[in-house]
Amino acid sequence: MTDMAGLLDDFVVRAGLAGLAVAVAAGPLGCFVIWRRMAYFGDALSHSALLGIALGTVLRVPVQATIVATGLIMAAFLTAFARQKRLGSDALLGIFSHAALSFGLIALAFLGAVRIDLHGLLFGDILAVDRIDLLQVWLGCAAVLGVLAAVWRPLLAATVHRDLAQAEGLPVARAELAFMLLMALTIAVAVKIVGVMLITALLIIPAAAARGLSRTPEQMAVLAAGIGVTAVSGGLGASLTWDLPAGPAIVATAALIFSATMVIRKTGKA
Amino acid sequence: MTALLRADGVSVRHGGRLILDAVDLEVRQGEIVTIVGPNGAGKTTLVRILVGLDRPDAGQVRRTDGLSIGYVPQRFHTESLLPLTVRRLMTLGQRAGDAAVQAALGETGAAHLTEAAVQTLSGGEMQRVLLARALLRQPDILILDEPAQGVDFRGQLDLYDLIAGLRRRHGMGVLMISHDLHVVMAATDRVICLHHHVCCVGHPEAVAQDPAYQRLFGREAAGHVALYSHDHHHVHGPDGTVQPGLVSCGHDHSGHAPGQDDPCSLPSHDAHFPPPPLSPPSGAGSRCAGGHSHD
């Protein structure tokens, strides 16, 4: 029996399908993270996922929902605090990011380590993805891609020049709000795959690798998705072959691809 | 002629400072209006309100129904993080066919830049591309915030020629900001001299002769290069009072009130410079405030 249902019995197939979906959604979204200089913002948001998980566990609701909620609350806090001028945004993000991580770890410790696989939360547990997880990941990623496609034009225009986009009547505020929502949703979906510590890597490394090879924003988005897929495939393969931790193997593969594009770019220019 | 855009008594206050004080202004169809004023005079604040980016604290802005604005902002810096060709920039906020894109770029003399990466453009090239981009919207009015910024002198003259040519061909209204009246003179129908409030309004030559303008710009009006920030150190006496005779608008205007300790206003300022529509001056003195409707 090699029908679809049978294939999904294989944990490697499930892991691969989940990873590919996340990579395809994270690539284009990661481009915006890079263009808008929000890598540390993404870090702070993903660290807040730990609090979301603790909250979901206590309230006995799906953790994905509470991760999205805490992510949005974090985004609102960061946006509000960004208006003050006494601290630079790097310091501000550093504070929020590590505070979210620490409070999240404390909250999880209260819940008891027995019930929660901390290592899996921090670094991902892609090989433990079950059918329900897989369905959630695919639905989540499809939603991310769908909404991103819908707000692409105003979001891109606002990223290039916010005032100009606004003066030209594009729905800038709505697009930026949607972008925050997409970040929170992607984090909720990707926690299972690479863990809260490595989500930002999955967002920015494929996008960064794609930058040197593209001439338009759309090219960069598609390439980033492709590079993400390659990284997931390569990382999973390496993990199975050499018994490496899967999440870090995926990120490491992405980083190697990034280095390769840097070399290609340099030699191409010379 | 119909006013495409008009501001009535627009005032803006930032932390107790009056940035714009009851500014009146209008731009009619086919007319080039230039706002001149020193740095920090509130020019960009005014333009942001006119294009609808900010709201005034008092007063209002009226646009004709369905007015299409072609806006060119002051700073357009694109990070090299974002790959962007001129072609892609043209259709970023609006859909347009390739032929229309090419025609717009051709009109501003930027057709050869179509495939260039935005980050590689010089200041003058960027302004031409942004102008083409604004043209693509088939604007009734072009609003340009310091279009000549970062462009060399020769390039500035070319750019203002280009803007005048666009106005001739398309008959749109043009509102632009400049801090150098002499460069824009040839391409301007009406100058509004702004320093938080409207100091004077009129035909460029008249404004250049206007005592209010000359006080505002100090030595610059006499053809010298003056640095406003440099003037700052010479404006105040040792006791903090403003030295008469050395007055230029480089000094701090915090707590500014019209007609009071303000170098650009004549003693009877309010009587001399009624808001547009232009009416004859109510007193002798300035030639600037009236009688210059060029139409």
For each of the domains in chain A, give its residue range(s) and CATH number, in order of start: 2-197 (1.10.3470.10)
Using the Cβ of A161 and the Cβ atoms of chain B, whether some distance falls under 8 Å is answered with: yes
Among B79, B92, B101, the residue to mutate for chain A (most A Cβ within 10 A)? B92
Nearest CA in chain B to A37: B81
Q: Which of A104-118, A174-188, A215-229 has the least mean pLDDT?
A: A104-118
Superfamily of domain B3-68+139-226: P-loop containing nucleotide triphosphate hydrolases (3.40.50.300)
The set of residues, in sequence order, having a beta carbon less than 8 Å from that of B24 and lying 6+ positions away, is B6, B7, B8, B9, B10, B198, B275, B276
Q: Which residue has the tokens 């627009």?
A: B10
Query: Distances from the Cα of B141 to the Cαs of A69, B4, B135, B137, B165, in angstroms?
Result: 44, 7, 10, 10, 14
Q: Which of A243-252, B63-72, B205-214, B272-281 has the least mean pLDDT?
A: B272-281
Is B94 in Cβ contact with A166 (below 8 Å)? Answer: no
Asked if the peptide bond before residue B139 counts as cis, ω within 30 degrees of 0, the response is no
Q: Which residue has the tokens 């050395």?
A: B246
Is B84 in Cβ contact with A168 (below 8 Å)? Answer: no
The per-residue pLDDT for A2 is: 53
Domain boundaries, chain B: 3-68+139-226, 79-138
Whether residue A235 is predicted with pLDDT greater than 90 in this model: the reply is: yes
Task: State the smallest CA–CA distance between residue A159 and chain B in angstroms.
Answer: 9
Nearest CA in chain A to B53: A167
pTM above 0.90, yes or no: no
Whether residue A31 is predicted with pLDDT greater than 60 in this model: the reply is: yes
**Closest partner CB to B93 (pick from A35, A168, A215):** A168
Q: Which residues of B are less than 8 Å from A159 in CB distance?
A: 82
Helix, coil or strand: residue B254: coil
Residue B261, Cβ neighbours under 10 Å: how many? Answer: 13
Q: Which residues of A are less than 8 Å from B84 in CB distance?
A: 160, 216-217
Q: Which residues of B are less than 8 Å from A165 in CB distance?
A: 92-93
Residue B246, Cβ neighbours under 10 Å: how many? Answer: 14
Sheet holding B17-28, edge to edge: B17-28, B3-14, B58-63
The per-residue pLDDT for B266 is: 44
Question: Can you read off the two tokens belonging to residue A203?
Answer: 């967002």
Q: Would you say B278 and B192 are in contact if contact means Cβ atoms under 8 Å apart? A: no
Q: Would you say A150 and A109 are in contact if contact means Cβ atoms under 8 Å apart? A: no
Between B180 and B127, the higher pLDDT residue? B127
Is B81 in Cβ contact with A34 (below 8 Å)? Answer: yes
Query: Distances from the Cα of A177 to the Cαs of A118, A164, A186, B223, in angstroms?
Result: 31, 18, 14, 51
Reference B25, options B35, B17, B40; nearest CA is B35
Residue B156, Cβ neighbours under 10 Å: how many? Answer: 21
Is B93 in Cβ contact with A211 (below 8 Å)? Answer: no
Task: Give the sign of the dihedral formed by CA B185, CA A167, CA B137, CA B294.
Answer: negative
Question: For residues B122 and B295, what is the distance between their CA atoms, to the nearest angstrom?
Answer: 37
